[in-house]
Amino acid sequence: MNKERQLQTPFVDALEAYCYEGMVAFHTPGHKLGCGATAYQQGLFGYALRRDLGLMYALDDLFQPQGPLKEAMELAADLYGAGRTFFSINGTTACVEAMILTVCRPGDEIIIPREAHRCVMEGLILSGAVPVYMRSHFAAKEQVTLGPDLASLQAAIAAHPAAKAVLFTYPTYDGVACELEKMISYSHAHGLYVLVDEAHGAHLPFHLDLPKEALACGADMTAQSTHKLAGSITQTSMLHCRRGFPDMERAASAMALVQSTSPQYWLLASLDSARQQLALEGTKRIGRAMALARQLRDELNAIPGIYSFGRNIMKYNGVGGFDETKVTIDFSGLDLTGRQAEVLLRREKIEVELTAANHVLALITLGDTDASIAALLRACRRVAAGQVVRCDRIVTNELPLPDPQVVLSPRNAWNSSKEIVSIQHALGRIAAETIMFYPPGIPIMAPGEIVTASCIAYLQNKVKAGYTPYGAADSTLQTLQVLPRGTEYE
């Protein structure tokens, strides 16, 4: 990394300089740098209105960068050790779709983990690729997925020797990291492209105890939500390609395919600025987040009835690392489900990232302080004080994610005509819609899969536990969309 160059913020500087030139705008957006905004909007959006520019040749072009935006993306590549980095204003969702579009053609098989995010399914629909699932493991005590291990990968490759690529989710939403380096070398030895959904990993290079980042493990392409665990604005992510990656130009055109032609420059500037922040202070800031997370976990574990697993999750086979800034707080010792704990915490003015089984997930990032940690601890103590501590844990088991039985490519299923049938009559039919719970956004059922009894049981179980399904045309799940009878399997 070139430390001196990392001090610079070429795109932020260009945007600021342009804004102070006082140009009279005869271009989009219609509010003309805030002139057309109401006083209320001015108050609401403030400075952002004056910087609300997109697709200005004066300020470089996201899809054919030649000036400050090119420099900004090169600096990001330099920071992360990539051959080339692309900025995304459509999150990691766009980056994952673009990765799949880069390496897969219609009909190509791609090996994916069971806990792949819905954007992977979208990438499959767009590209026409066909998913082959790797078996994932599940930690029963902690009620979190551990992802696939090397044996799962080996089995998938042995059963599908013609597969083109493999995609890993690394680390998982809960911070669990598979043995990626080993799995990447095995995949490369078998001629597969390796793509990584590293949505939860933009901070990984900045602390030695965090799982090693995907590029350093040898990934060909990796997508990171800079907005999730680093400091950029929501919706902004980066796609990195390794040095020497042969399909950079296809990646560039795939990124153009999945993003708006009017990228918001304020969002792009936030990526430039977040990159500079990480380069200058990443080690200090992420180190501080780690220290706070460790202190939080220790103190949580001292509250009777509450439990937060830590690096001990690495005792499970196939787990190669753990991101300690992901703090899963288990309330089973207080006989509370994750949903119930979420509601009680909300009353204490705490909003968590996700809930499942008996736990909630709290993210500790470079934005946390002693005060935020103290607030979370105080809230957990108050929740505990209002409950009876049980000697035994009352575990609300998450049902295992149903095993997908893919009979048609997601694209062909998505393009097919659809029928609406009652959920009971959907059993054994081919699904035509993607249904998930969000977060974590893992499809429980996706187009082209058989609707199985375990799939229906999983959906009904979650709804009964108070979770809202996403993606279903009928959100009550009384009915499901399926393909017409007689649709040919592929």
Ligand X SMILES: Cc1ncc(COP(=O)(O)O)c(C=O)c1O
Binding site for ligand X (CB under 6 A): 91-93, 96, 117, 119, 169, 173, 197, 199, 225, 237, 439-441
Evaluated on CA atoms 189, 190, 195, 197, the torsion sign reads: negative
Distance in angstroms (rounded) separating the CA atoms of residues 314 and 291: 19
Mark residue 7 as left, alpha or beta (left: phi above 0; alpha: psi -120 to 50; beta: remaining).
Answer: alpha
Residue nearest to ligand X (CB): 91
Single-letter amino acid code for the residue at 178 = C
Task: State the nearest-atom distance from the C-beta of 193 to ligand X, in Å.
Answer: 18
Q: Name every residue whose Cβ is closer than 8 Å to that of residue 370 and which is 6 or more positions away in sequence.
A: 292
Single-letter amino acid code for the residue at 382 = R
Task: State the nearest-atom distance from the C-beta of 442 to ligand X, in Å.
Answer: 8
3-state secondary structure string across 35-65: CCCCHHHHHHHCHHHHCCCECCHHHCCCCCC
Phi, psi of 176 (to 5 degrees): -85, 130
Task: State the nearest-atom distance from the C-beta of 223 to ligand X, in Å.
Answer: 7
User: Closest by alpha carbon to 430, among 411, 415, 412, 408?
Assistant: 408
Single-letter amino acid code for the residue at 128 = G
Task: State the nearest-atom distance from the C-beta of 228 to ligand X, in Å.
Answer: 6
Q: Are strands 237-241 and 435-437 parallel, antiparallel or unpaired?
A: unpaired
Q: Two tokens at 58? A: 């004066």
Single-letter amino acid code for the residue at 358 = N
Alpha helices in 386-471 (DSSP H): 410-415, 423-426, 453-464
Q: Are strands 419-422 and 354-356 parallel, antiparallel or unpaired?
A: unpaired
Is the peptide bond preceding residue 205 cis, with omega within 30 degrees of 0?
no
Task: State the nearest-atom distance from the C-beta of 108 to ligand X, in Å.
Answer: 21
CA atoms within 13 A on the CB side of 2: 10
CA 281 to chain centre: 24
Distance in angstroms (rounded) separating the CA atoms of residues 403 and 445: 10
- Residue 254 or 450 with smaller CB distance to ligand X: 254
Task: State the nearest-atom distance from the C-beta of 95 to ligand X, in Å.
Answer: 8
For residues 427 and 417, is the Cβ–Cβ distance under 8 A?
A: no
User: Closest by alpha carbon to 158, among 194, 116, 109?
Assistant: 109
User: Closest by alpha carbon to 88, among 229, 268, 215?
Assistant: 268
User: Closest by alpha carbon to 157, among 198, 127, 193?
Assistant: 193
Kindly report the length of the chain.
490
Q: Name every residue whose Cβ is closer than 8 Å to that of residue 89 and which is 6 or more positions away in sequence.
A: 62, 235, 236, 259, 260, 263, 264, 267, 268
Task: State the nearest-atom distance from the C-beta of 126 to ligand X, in Å.
Answer: 15
Distance in angstroms (rounded) separating the CA atoms of residues 182 and 169: 15
- Residue 72 or 258 with smaller CB distance to ligand X: 258
CA atoms within 13 A on the CB side of 105: 1
